[in-house]
A and B are shown apart, each in its own frame.
Chain A
Amino acid sequence: MGFKTPLYETHVAAGARMVDFGGWDMPVNYGSQIDEHHAVRSDAGMFDVSHMLIADVIGPRARDYLRHVLANDVAKLAEPGKALYSCMLNEAGGVIDDLIVYFLDDAWFRVVVNAGTREKDIAWLKRHASAFQVEIRPRSDLAMIAVQGPNARRKVASLIGDHADQALALGAFFGRELAPYFISRTGYTGEDGFEIVLPSDDAPAFWQQLRSIGVAQCGLGARDTLRLEAGMNLYGNDMDESVTPLESGLSWTVAFDPQDRMFLGRNALEAMRAQGVPRKLVGLVLEDRGVLRSHQRVIVPAIGEGELTSGTFSPTLERSIGFARVPKATTGADVQVDIRGKLLNARVVKYPFVRNGKALI
């Protein structure tokens, strides 16, 4: 038996198929995963993401501390509520986790980290905290529900009374405390929407209210196809401690300027840049019939080989898409993928594959 979120009983009562995910008993779907996917692209769907860990970083030097432990630079966060996506690296430049950090006030930042890595993340964050006299406060008292889709914000707003105007006024990648909620305009689907943090005890009733106004319950299965279409990395698949962000399509999240900001992992990344980054992450579309899956071998003609890091059937595009880590020298569009011993044709494409309901390839 794994860990359970405050919505576990709600999922079971709704007939969800429950699976283990990073030690948590989570819903993979409530019926048709493809229908759940389309609900998010065309209307509104919701996900229990309470297995992710929220941790508050408290102290007057919180900003200095986060500028040290994160590869992206929280100095970019000027306005309270603004969020930033970043990797947290070890000294070798390997990715410990990817996370979202919110700037709430000068002595209060909030990070949201992955479920499967929460223990090691907290240990790492605490290990580096004492030098900056900040406190790392895990918030296991909170649940989190992501509501995503073109109608998601409007539907959430209809349930939060006096807070509706303030929630609807949130800019992209902003969050705000609207007690008892913390609402942010963020997500992992490529659609507009909110992520709502609320006291664990309130989560089941709020979920049922969302259901009653037609927000579709969605499981981790749809969450994965949506994020892959949206071109978003999944920790543990597309990157982990054995690779750097520079090889994972995440160079854009590493702030090398200013040059005197000595964030953890910087030296290793600079050494890799000086020697030449050996590999890169690319998007693939399968031209032949079949389904791309992680760990399938990719053959790049005249260059070498790579490997799928994520792959699935895209319900929006009705064909298979994936990410692959291939030699940096890969420039052509035509590659082959070894699927059960057969070499099938695939094409290298720019991702995201889908954004705001529209196919981009």
Chain B
Amino acid sequence: MSSIPTNLKYLESHEWARAEADGTVTVGISDHAQNALGDLVFVEVPEVGRTLAKGTAAAVVESVKAASDVYSPVSGEVIAANEALSGSPELVNTDPYGEGWLFKLKPSNTAELAQLLDAAAYGKIVESDG
């Protein structure tokens, strides 16, 4: 059973978003997603300063098997990207909610955060995913 922390919000496409105390939002992919992808070997993170609309392809995670787009859960400006993943993409496998974060945003519309799935709703999607 994959881990789904209750303090995070989720997208149906398996991204998570965490509202930080300073008003920024950190984004990554869920434990279920990393497990389904298998060993990650390459991660392409967005450039700092890029403006993302909610739902746009912002990053790419590639496992040995395949490449997958990562969508931005909310709109905003990229203020940090996890450069450690360039040398250690496997951090996404070993610590998807911690060291394996992908990028941080300064959200332009905080109301979008409330529209995301909570852990219970996301858990149901994971269950039906098999």
Interface positions of A (Cβ within 8 A of B): 17, 28-29, 32-34, 221, 225, 289-291, 293, 312-313, 315, 320, 340
- Interface residues in B42-74 (C-beta closer than 8 Å to A): 42, 44, 60, 62-67
Instruction: Look across to chain A and name the residue whose beta carbon is closest to the beta carbon of B62.
Output: A291
Q: Which of B60, B64, B86 contacts A313 (CB 8 A)?
A: B64
Q: Smallest distance from the beta carbon of B106 to chain A beta carbons, Å? A: 25
- Interface residues in B16-53 (C-beta closer than 8 Å to A): 36, 38-39, 41-42, 44
Contacts of B86 in A (CB 8 A): 289
Contacts of A29 in B (CB 8 A): 38
Please determine whether B42 and A313 come into contact, CB atoms closer than 8 angstroms.
Answer: yes
Centre residue among B60, B62, B66 by max chain A CB count within 10 A: B62
CA distance in complex: A7, B41 (Å): 30
Contacts of A293 in B (CB 8 A): 66-67
Centre residue among A17, A313, A315 by max chain B CB count within 10 A: A313
- Interface residues in B68-101 (C-beta closer than 8 Å to A): 86
Please determine whether A340 and B39 come into contact, CB atoms closer than 8 angstroms.
Answer: no
Contacts of B39 in A (CB 8 A): 32-34
> What total of A-B pairs shows CB separation below 8 Å?
38
Q: Smallest distance from the beta carbon of A22 to chain B beta carbons, Å? A: 16
CA distance in complex: A246, B42 (Å): 34
Please determine whether A34 and B67 come into contact, CB atoms closer than 8 angstroms.
Answer: no
Contacts of B36 in A (CB 8 A): 17
Q: Identify 29 residue pairs between A and B in the complex whose beta-carbon atoms are under 8 Å apart, listed by A's number.
A: A17-B36, A17-B38, A28-B38, A28-B65, A32-B38, A32-B39, A33-B38, A33-B39, A33-B64, A33-B65, A34-B39, A34-B41, A34-B64, A221-B64, A221-B65, A225-B64, A289-B42, A289-B86, A290-B42, A290-B44, A290-B62, A291-B41, A291-B67, A293-B67, A313-B41, A313-B42, A313-B64, A315-B64, A340-B60
CA distance in complex: A315, B39 (Å): 10
Instruction: Look across to chain A and name the residue whose beta carbon is closest to the beta carbon of B57.
Output: A340
> Which 6 pairs across A and B sit closest by C-beta, in order of nearness?
A313-B41, A34-B39, A291-B62, A291-B42, A313-B64, A33-B38
Contacts of B60 in A (CB 8 A): 340
- Assuming A33-B63, A290-B44, what are 6 further A-B pairs, CB within 8 angstroms? A17-B38, A28-B65, A29-B38, A221-B64, A289-B42, A313-B62
CA distance in complex: A33, B39 (Å): 7
Contacts of B67 in A (CB 8 A): 291, 293
Contacts of B64 in A (CB 8 A): 33-34, 221, 225, 312-313, 315
Please determine whether A221 and B38 come into contact, CB atoms closer than 8 angstroms.
Answer: yes
CA distance in complex: A34, B36 (Å): 14
Q: Smallest distance from the beta carbon of B84 to chain A beta carbons, Å? A: 14
Instruction: Look across to chain A and name the residue whose beta carbon is closest to the beta carbon of B41.
Output: A313
Centre residue among A28, A290, A291, A320 by max chain B CB count within 10 A: A291
CA distance in complex: A33, B67 (Å): 15
Contacts of A340 in B (CB 8 A): 60
Contacts of B44 in A (CB 8 A): 290
Instruction: Look across to chain B and name the residue whose beta carbon is closest to the beta carbon of A312.
Output: B64
CA distance in complex: A289, B41 (Å): 10
CA distance in complex: A315, B65 (Å): 12
Q: Smallest distance from the beta carbon of B85 to chain A beta carbons, Å? A: 11
Instruction: Look across to chain A and name the residue whose beta carbon is closest to the beta carbon of B90.
Output: A34
CA distance in complex: A34, B41 (Å): 10
Centre residue among B36, B42, B86 by max chain A CB count within 10 A: B42
Contacts of A320 in B (CB 8 A): 42
Contacts of A221 in B (CB 8 A): 38, 64-65
Instruction: Look across to chain B and name the residue whose beta carbon is closest to the beta carbon of A220.
Output: B65
Contacts of A291 in B (CB 8 A): 41-42, 62, 67
Contacts of B63 in A (CB 8 A): 33
